[in-house]
Amino acid sequence: MKEIVEEKFKEIFGTEGRFKTYFAPGRVNLIGEHTDYNGGHVFPCALTLGTYATVRQREDRNVNLYSTNFEDKGIITVSLDNLKATESDGWTKYIKGVLWAISEKVGPLEHGFDVIYGGNLPIGVGLSSSASLSVLTAYIINDSFKLKLDATELALISKKAENEFVGINCGIMDQFVITKGKENTALYLNTATLEYEYVPINLENYRILIMNSKKKRSLENSKYNIRRTECETALEIFKQNGLKIHTLGDLTKEQFEENKHLLEDEIIRKRAKHAVYENERTKEAVDALKNNDLIKFGELMLESHKSLKEDYEVSCLELDTLVDAAMQQEGVIGARMTGAGFGGCAISIVKKSKIDKFMQNVRKIYKENCDYYTDIFIVEVGSGPHIV
């Protein structure tokens, strides 16, 4: 992949001068969905698939951007002296956002650069292509300008860019695991304190598969932001009624059940229920994995999907079809949608010896019911950003 991006760089920006190539992974979340902006726990891992960028420093104040995913847009030039969001930013809003967020933290950058982005991560399907792009950019700037920001600061800068520049009120999960991911482990993160632990993914005869629904997501950003507001409403009501909590993640299931009558609006109650129960499920799932109890882990995945479908209402026909099709197969111990939802991907844990049959059958069922072809691939757990 590195060679492909570097060749493209030479073709678009010429062969003169020194350039450097960097990588940042995508991520897949194993469990703990829509808990990160509720002060709960998440359990994602970084992928070996991700975004690559080749970069050469410039002497002026222009940043020239090119993406192999948007070749029709050509080179887009951003001036370091004009980092305001505009309607026409398109894919470059993530980069501009990071340029803006970094200069808010360390002051204006001294000069610009030429950069080409490419890679092998499917984009816009719930594997965090946007956070991969943002973190990669923050990492490149940190390295190029010797800013000495640590991984957590890079994650927070990337999140700030998405929240305040791009306008998605996402939590910290994606940026955090992308900056800190470690091979063969998943990252168990408490999003309220940012304490984390690497947990080995020891699946023995099983593998995690990703099934891409190929369903184009629409309006997912505004639906995402609405879910977040609904959770904030629930939290506010609990607090007004005297509960001493900072986030929904502070509540146990029992405390939620005792107090849920305070949430008179059924929709708000369902959203809060998901946030609380999913957080508890994530803790149980991590314990199950540590005890090599994969069956329990699989059961919790299914419960998570049910809750995302019925209480949080972020699943869709395509994701439900993939999960149902997966669960009908031999050698499967769990399946759920992953990421924000409204399209994107589902995951499943499948016995190694049954993977071929699984892929064949799930593809067939999915095509018959949803009229899309699904791409199914085995998760390989990678590590955080680095120079390649």
Q: With binding defined as CB under 6 A, does residue 210 bind ligand GLA?
A: no
Least Å distance, CB 167 to ligand GLA, is: 13
Helix axes 317-327, 294-310, angle to 10 degrees: 150
Q: How far, CA to CA in Å, does 332 sit from each of 52, 98, 301, 348?
A: 33, 41, 12, 7
Site for ligand GLA in 83-142 (CB under 6 A): 128
Which H helix or E strand runs over 103?
helix 93-106
Determine which residue in the list 22, 23, 34, 220 makes contact with ligand GLA, applying CB under 6 A: 34
Q: Using CB under 6 A, which of the segments 165-173, 289-297, 360-368, 371-379 binds ligand GLA?
A: 165-173
CA–CA distance, 273 with 224 (Å, rounded to integer)? 17
Q: Which of 171, 249, 298, 384 binds ligand GLA (CB under 6 A)?
A: 171
Supply 272's token pair.
């809060």
- 174 is known as an active-site residue: yes
CB 40 within 8 A of CB 282: yes
- The token pair at 105 is 């933290």
- 8 Å CB contact between 348 and 206: no
Binding test (CB under 6 A) with ligand GLA, winner from 209, 276, 340, 350: 340
Residue closer to ligand GLA by CB (options 56, 214) is 214
Nearby residues of 218 by Cβ (< 8 Å), 6 or more positions away: 342, 343
Residue 344 in the binding site for ligand GLA (CB under 6 A): no
CB of 328 to ligand GLA, least distance (A): 26
| Binding of ligand GLA by 174 (CB under 6 A) | yes
Stretch that binds ligand GLA, among 30-38, 208-216, 255-263, 317-325 (CB under 6 A): 30-38
> Of the listed 36, 72, 89, 174, which one is catalytic?
174
Question: Are residues 357 and 25 in contact, defined by beta-carbon separation less than 8 angstroms?
Answer: no
Nearest one of 209, 248, 242 to 228, comparing CA atoms: 248
| C-alpha–C-alpha distance, residues 135 and 24, integer Å | 7
Cα atoms in the 13 Å half-sphere on the side-chain side of 243: 21
Total chain residues near ligand GLA (CB under 6 A): 12
Q: Which of 173, 248, 272, 359 binds ligand GLA (CB under 6 A)?
A: 173
Q: Does the protein bind ligand GLA through residue 181 (CB under 6 A)?
A: no
What is the closest distance, in whole angstroms, from the C-beta atom of residue 128 to ligand GLA in the complex?
6
With CB under 6 A as the contact rule, the residue among 6, 36, 280, 318 that binds ligand GLA is: 36
Distance CA 38, CA 35 (A): 5
**Interaction between residue 40 and ligand GLA (CB under 6 A):** no
Counting contacts by CB under 6 A, is residue 186 touching ligand GLA? Answer: no
Q: Work out how close the CB of 161 gets to ligand GLA at its nearest, in angstroms, rounded to a whole number.
A: 12
Q: Would you please indicate which residues are annotated as catalytic (active-site) residues?
A: 174
Contact set with ligand GLA (CB under 6 A): 29, 33-34, 36-37, 128, 170-171, 173-174, 339-340
